[in-house]
Every structure is written in structure tokens, then in C-alpha cells.
Amino acid sequence: GHPVVVVGAGAAGVQTVVALREKGYDGPLLLLGDEPHRPYDRPPLSKSVLLGGDADAVRFDVDFDALGVEVRLGCGARGLRPEARELDTARGPVGYRALVLATGAEPVRLPGAAGLPSVHELRTLDDARRLGPVLAERREVVVVGAGWIGAEFATAATAAGCRVTVVEAADRPLAGALPAEVTGPMRAWYREAGVELRTGVGVRRIEDGAVELADGERLTAGAVLVGVGARPATAWLAGSGVAIGARGDVLADEGLRTSVPDVYAVGDCASFPSARFGGRLLVHHWDNALQGPRAVAASLTGGAGAVYDPVPYFWSEQFGRFVQYAGHHADADTLVRRGDPDGDAWSVCWLREERLVAVLSVGRARDLAQGKRLIASGAPLVRERVADADVPLKSA
Ligand code: FAD
């Protein structure tokens, strides 16, 4: 019969085939990836590969032959015909008994930037390899966007000895993810690292070796790194009947099923409803690419009704700090600080009524671990105790 087919050989796709075997699926299994490389992990790209770290070390330590998984690389999916239960790929049609979409996300591109030799993005191993010489030659760099990728790239580039200017259209770093009370102290991180951070100014035009700002100023650079967000890689599903949301996300249900029978979606390409937090979540972080596949593997191996409602988690390493976040907060949630935000270690908690819904910690790993458990349990908290950084985070 036809195999279970997984499209996209990133973290989520690889986890899907591993989890299927772990849960006892012993039928044929095919993993399709459009990149030419053996499947690899992305977080080390911005943290070590840029600085000359071993690019082979980023490969997932998975023996696909031993797992009985056929891996087809350089074989992108181009279309899906659910009524025939077939995918169209670069090398012809492929039939499936069940299909898991794991195509991840791709960087948002700025108009006019495509193809300029000095303009870069940072999503793939090839991107990181292209950026290697920029750092090795200590070129002056302009980074467009002060998000997670911009901050991690600026960290690596300054460590390599580059002069770095970060330009951000919003009035602060990480504006899409965190409120001003939380990002306020992060300005100093840039300053202390010697990075010039210019906020509240958009980019009008990108040229080879220069960025023209909305106010007319022109910054010249040996390289430009564009880090203005990522969007699910789902354009190839147009017309297939798989429901896609406004953000380009595959609209999965609480079991990560798509709108098409026997087609599931995991990782950066898919959003899912969260009863825990209320609303639909689109999570672009590594842990989600690990956990979602376990739920799908459970469904595909007979665990009917497996529900995916995680406490999302991620980490970032920037300017010598270890930043971690668990949960999901909304603007209306109450923000409670733990510790001095100008110091080396502090946390922020978000409460909804008397329950913890999210925690961000900078160098306070224990707050993160305890907070994550409290978010999962939904146990009530006393706000005054949450604010006391000297007592552990625990329920009333
Ligand atoms: P991806 O890793 O994007 O993999 C999807 C794969 O599918 C890609 O190889 C893509 O080429 C392929 N594909 C796309 N379309 C097709 C198609 N039509 N046919 C076949 N294949 C296709 N998260 C954290 O939590 N902490 C971190 O510190 C962190 N650091 C990061 C640093 C960098 C530089 C980057 C880029 C990401 C980082 N992330 C981090 C995010 C994390 O890596 C992603 O959330 C994770 O990779 C998502 O896995 P995925 O498999 O869903 O998508």
C-alpha cells in the first residue's frame, strides 16, 4: 500500500517519522524535503554555525535507514490532489495513505532585496554558510528587524568583531512578541554590546550594500541581514482544498488535522486552536515542532482523539543572556515583575485572574521551570508572592 508521507524534512518532519516508529507504526514511511542537505536543526545556525562552528554537527542524529524511513531530498512538493490521495513533487506524483504537512516557514522578504549579493536572510544552512565570510571578514552590517533572529545575528556578528547597526520600524525590539515594559531593559543589552539600535524608523529601500531609511538617511554596509519575520511555507497548497488562514497558516484542528481527510499539519506551517489559552496559536518555535508530531503520531497509530493543547516554550540566546518564555499571554493579562529588570536575572509573569498564563525569564531558569508547571496545572496564585523574587513560584 501507499506510505505515510511527511512533507518537509525540518525539525517537525523528522520528529514525525521518529514518533511514528516510537508509537509502533511499522508500515512504509516516506520523508520528502526540498533542501538538498541531510535534515538539520536550525537553532544552532544563529548561535554557532555563523561563528564557524561545525556545520555537520547540526544534522539530526537520526538513522533513517535503521528506522526504515525513505528520505527523498531535493524533492519539493508542488501540489496536493486529495481526491486522488496524491502529491505532485519535483520528481513526479506520490501516493499516500496519510499525509503530514511539515513545510515550516520562510523569511518574509522585502521588495527589491531579492538577488542582491550583499543582502542576506537567516533561515537555512545555506544562508548561514553564505553569512560566514561576512563575519569572518568583519564586515560592517546593517540588520533590518530587531526580532529574535535579528538579535541573535547581531550577537554573533558583534562577537565576530563586526560593527552592527540594527534598524527596527517599531518603537522597540521584539515589538511583535512582548510589551514595552518587558523590552525596555533590552535596549541596554544592545548598547552594552556596542550595537547601535535605531527604532521607530522603517526601511524605504534596500540596495546592494546600502539601506535607505524612511527618513531619507542612507546607511551603507558590507552586508545587510533582513530579519523581519517568517511566514508558513504553504503557497504550494493553493487550490488543494486544505484550509489556509490569513497568516498563510494551515488551519489545523485540536488534533492537528487539516480540513482534508487524513492530512495533518505540524510545526511552523500550522496553527491550532488552544482551549487552554483561548484562541488560535501559530507558534514558530522549536518545542512546538517536537511536541506536535507526537500528537499526530498518536492519532495515526490509533490513539483516536489525541488533543494538542501545549504550553508553548522557547528560548533565545542574545547578548550573553539566556531568555526563555513559556505559555501565551494577551495584552489584557496582568504583568508582574520578579527581580530587577536592570540586573542580570529577572522574570516577568502574566496572570489572568489569579492563574499564571505566561512567564518570561532572563537568566532565572528556575522561574521558567516552576512557571511552566503552574501554567500547565492552572493552579491559583497569590499576586504578591509572584512579585517576590526571593520566594519560589508556586501556587497559593
Ligand atoms: P522548518 O525547520 O522550517 O523545516 C521545514 C522544511 O520543509 C524546510 O527544510 C523546508 O525547506 C521544507 N519545505 C518547505 N516547503 C516544502 C515543500 N513544498 N516540499 C518539501 N519540503 C518543503 N526556536 C526556538 O525555540 N529557540 C531558538 O533558539 C531558535 N533559534 C532559531 C534560529 C534560527 C536561525 C532559525 C531559522 C530558527 C530558530 N528557531 C528557534 C525556530 C525553530 O528552528 C523552528 O521553529 C523549527 O525549525 C520549525 O520546524 P519545522 O520543521 O516546522 O520547520
Tell the residue nearest (CA) to atom 1 of ligand 1.
104
Question: How far away, in angstroms, is 11 Cα from ligand 1 center?
Answer: 6
- Looking at residue 166, the DSSP 8-state letter turns out to be E
Tell the residue nearest (CA) to atom 45 of ligand 1.
285
CATH superfamily of 4-106+230-300: FAD/NAD(P)-binding domain (3.50.50.60)
Predicted-complex ipTM score? 0.99
CA distance 177 to 158: 24
> Are the C-beta atoms of residues 142 and 165 closer than 8 Å to each other?
yes
Which of 41, 48, 103 most suits a substitution to test ligand 1, by most atoms within 8 Å of the C-beta? 103
Enumerate residues lining ligand 1, CB below 6 A.
7-13, 32-35, 42-43, 45-46, 76-77, 102-105, 122-123, 149, 233, 236, 267-269, 284-287, 289, 314-316
Tell the residue nearest (CA) to atom 2 of ligand 1.
10
Compute how many other C-beta atoms are within 10 angstroms of the C-beta atom of residue 291. Answer: 20
**For residue 303, what pLDDT is reported?**
76
**For residue 304, what pLDDT is reported?**
72
Tell the residue nearest (CA) to atom 15 of ligand 1.
103
Which of 42, 59, 282 most suits a substitution to test ligand 1, by most atoms within 8 Å of the C-beta? 42
**For residue 177, what pLDDT is reported?**
94
Which of 108, 120, 268, 313 most suits a substitution to test ligand 1, by most atoms within 8 Å of the C-beta? 268
Helix (H) or strand (E) holding 270: strand 270-273
Tell the residue nearest (CA) to atom 19 of ligand 1.
76
Q: How far is CA 6 from CA 10, 32, 97, 278, in A?
A: 10, 6, 11, 29
pLDDT tens for the chain, residues 1 to 396: 999 999 999 999 999 999 999 999 999 999 999 999 999 999 999 999 999 888 888 999 999 999 999 999 999 999 999 999 999 998 999 999 999 999 999 999 998 898 999 999 999 999 999 999 999 999 999 999 999 999 999 999 999 999 999 999 999 999 999 999 999 999 999 999 999 999 999 999 999 999 999 999 999 999 999 999 999 999 999 999 999 999 999 999 999 999 999 999 999 999 999 999 999 999 999 999 999 999 999 999 987 778 999 999 999 999 999 999 999 999 999 999 999 999 999 999 999 999 999 999 999 999 999 999 999 999 999 999 999 999 999 887
Q: What CATH number belongs to 109-226?
A: 3.50.50.60
pLDDT tens-digit series, residues 128-186: 999 999 999 999 999 999 999 999 999 999 999 999 999 999 999 999 999 999 999 99
Q: Locate 173 and state its grid cell.
A: 525590539
Question: How far away, in angstroms, is 389 Cα from ligand 1 center?
Answer: 35
Q: How far is CA 246 from CA 62, 100, 108, 234, 251, in A?
A: 35, 21, 14, 12, 10
Same fold, 4-106+230-300 and 109-226: yes
**For residue 54, what pLDDT is reported?**
86
Tell the residue nearest (CA) to atom 32 of ligand 1.
43
Question: How far away, in angstroms, is 56 Cα from ligand 1 center?
Answer: 17
Q: At the topology level of CATH, where does 322-386 sit?
A: Enolase-like; domain 1 (3.30.390)
Q: What is the DSSP string of 282-343?
A: E--SHHHHHHHHHHHHHHHTT-TT-------EEEEEETTEEEEEEE---TTSEEEEES-TTS
Tell the residue nearest (CA) to atom 12 of ligand 1.
8
Task: Quote the pTM value.
Answer: 0.98
**For residue 165, what pLDDT is reported?**
98
**How do the domains of the chain map onto residue ranges?**
4-106+230-300, 109-226, 322-386
Q: Which of 313, 296, 315, 312 is nearest to 304 (CA)?
A: 296
**For residue 368, what pLDDT is reported?**
98
pLDDT tens-digit series, residues 346-360: 999 999 999 999 999
**For residue 363, what pLDDT is reported?**
95
